[in-house]
Amino acid sequence: MKALEIPARFTGTVHVAIWSDPDSCLYGEIFLSDDKLDSNGVINLGSVDVDIPLEVNGALDKQVDQLLESKSKIIREATDKAQQIDEAIESLRAIEYKEEL
């Protein structure tokens, strides 16, 4: 898995838009995008050219923490599934076949 690379600066155009689709859980949320969006549920509000120095200190530690949490979540989910399978196996083994006389 490749690490997220954060540049020292972001220079470009930032577009501001709002979700306008009332059927969306994001209805009314204002967001930023590096592209002007063309979608039925989006209203583009404007754009601005920016040159922003990005803060990268601590980003690597945060990425490691995120990956460790993802790994732990996957292990927990796999352990739960394996336990369910073990229970199903034991349940099947507990069934006794009794031949009718």
At 1 the pLDDT is 63
For 27-82, write each residue's pLDDT tens digit.
667 777 777 777 777 888 888 898 988 887 777 788 889 899 999 999 999 999 99
Distances (CA, A) of 45 to 25, 36, 40: 20, 10, 14
For 20-29, write each residue's pLDDT tens digit.
777 766 666 7
The pTM of the full predicted model, rounded to 2 decimals, is: 0.46
Sheet of 30-33: strand order equals 30-33, 9-19, 42-53
At 32 the pLDDT is 76
Residue 101 or residue 70, greater confidence: 70
The residue ranges of every structural domain in the chain are 9-53, 58-95
